[in-house]
Amino acid sequence: MTLAADSLQRRIRARLEAQPEHRALAFPGAGGRLVWWTRGDLHLRAARVAAQLVDRGLAPGQVVVIVSVDPKECATALHGVLLAGAVPLLAAPPSIQGMNSNLTQILHDVVRRAKARIVILPRAMAAEAATFGALHPAAHIEPGFERLLEESGPWNAAAVDPARAERAGSIAALQQTSGTTRFPRIAVWEHGRVLAAIDGMASAMGLAADDVYVNWTPLYHDMGLVNNLLTCLVLGIPLALLSPLDVVRQPARWLRALDEAGATQTWSPNFGYALATQRCSDEELEGLDLSRVRGFWNAAERVHFETFRRFHARFERHGARWNACKADFGCVELIGGATFTAPTAPLLAEQVDLDVLRQDGIARVANRSTRTSQWFVSCGRPHPGLELGIFDAEGERLPDGVVGELGLRGEAHFERYLGDPEETARTRRGDLVFPGDEGYLRDGEFFWTGRRSERINLQGKKLGPSELEHALFELPGLRKGCFTAFGVEDTERGTEVLVVVSEVEPEAETRLPELDKEIRRKLAVEVGVVVEVLLLVRKGVLAKTSSGKRRHRHFRECYLRGELESLHTSRAREVG
Eight-state DSSP code of residue 523: I
CB neighbour burial string for 472-496, b if at least 16 within 10 angstroms, e if fewer: bbebebbbbbbbbbbbeeeeeeeeb
Among 452, 485, 504, residue at a domain's last position: 452
d(CA 315, CA 279): 12
289 lies in a domain? no
Average pLDDT on 488-510 reads: 85
d(CA 210, CA 388): 30
The model's pLDDT over 251-267, given as tens digits with 9 standing for 90+, comes to 999 999 999 999 999 99
Domain co-membership, 357 together with 439: yes
Among 403, 424, 452, residue at a domain's last position: 452
Domain co-membership, 25 together with 124: yes
Domain co-membership, 508 together with 423: no
Predicted pLDDT at 94:
84
DSSP per residue over 187-256, as a string? EEEEHHHHHHHHHHHHHHHT--TT--EEE-S-TTSHIIIIIIIIHHHHHT--EEE--HHHHHH-THHHHH
Domain co-membership, 427 together with 475: no
Domain co-membership, 544 together with 477: yes
For 538, the domain range is 463-575
Domain co-membership, 419 together with 524: no
Among 170, 189, 208, residue at a domain's last position: 189
308 lies in a domain? no
331 lies in a domain? no
Domain co-membership, 23 together with 104: yes
Q: What is the CATH number of the domain that holds 471?
A: 3.30.300.30
3-state secondary structure of 159: helix
The model's pLDDT over 386-414, given as tens digits with 9 standing for 90+, comes to 999 999 999 999 999 999 999 999 999 99
Mean pLDDT of the chain: 90
Average the pLDDT over each of 112-116, 326-330, 437-441, 482-486 and give the range with the smallest value.
482-486
3-state secondary structure of 526: helix
Cβ atoms of 185 and 420 closer than 8 Å: yes
362 lies in a domain? yes
The number of beta carbons lying within 10 Å of the beta carbon of residue 32 is 13
d(CA 18, CA 77): 23
551 lies in a domain? yes
Strand ranges inside 392-494, DSSP E: 404-410, 416-417, 428-429, 432-433, 437-442, 445-451, 456-458, 461-463, 478-490
Q: Which of 3, 71, 14 is nearest to 43 (CA)?
A: 14
Q: What is the CATH number of the domain that holds 363?
A: 2.30.38.10
Confidence of residue 546 (pLDDT cuts 50, 70, 90): low
Domain co-membership, 350 together with 498: no
Among 103-107, 111-115, 447-451, 466-470, top mean pLDDT goes to: 111-115
Q: Which of 266, 257, 230, 265 is nearest to 15 (CA)?
A: 230
Domain co-membership, 446 together with 469: no
DSSP per residue over 91-109, as a string? E--GGG--TT--HHHHHHH
d(CA 463, CA 486): 9
Say how many domains are in the chain: 3
Please, which residues bridge with residue 484 across strands? 501
Q: Which of 268, 343, 279, 276 is nearest to 301 (CA)?
A: 268
Cβ atoms of 277 and 252 closer than 8 Å: no
Domain co-membership, 32 together with 168: yes
Domain co-membership, 122 together with 41: yes
CB-hemisphere CA count at 13 Å for 177?
Answer: 23
Predicted pLDDT at 376:
95
In a 10 Å sphere around its CB, with 0-12 CB exposed, 13-18 middle and 19+ buried, how is residue 525 labelled?
exposed
Q: Does pLDDT of 364 surpass 50?
A: yes
3-state secondary structure of 536: strand
Say which residues have a Cβ less than 8 Å from residue 190's Cβ, sequence separation at least 6.
Answer: 4, 170, 171, 172, 415
The number of beta carbons lying within 10 Å of the beta carbon of residue 83 is 26
159 lies in a domain? yes
Domain co-membership, 47 together with 170: yes
533 lies in a domain? yes
d(CA 452, CA 378): 18
CA 340 centroid distance within chain: 15
233 lies in a domain? no
Q: What is the CATH number of the domain that holds 43?
A: 3.40.50.980
Q: Does pLDDT of 101 surpass 90?
A: no
CA 67 centroid distance within chain: 17
Helices (H), 316-374: 354-360
Q: Does pLDDT of 461 surpass 90?
A: no
Predicted model pTM: 0.85
Predicted pLDDT at 54:
93
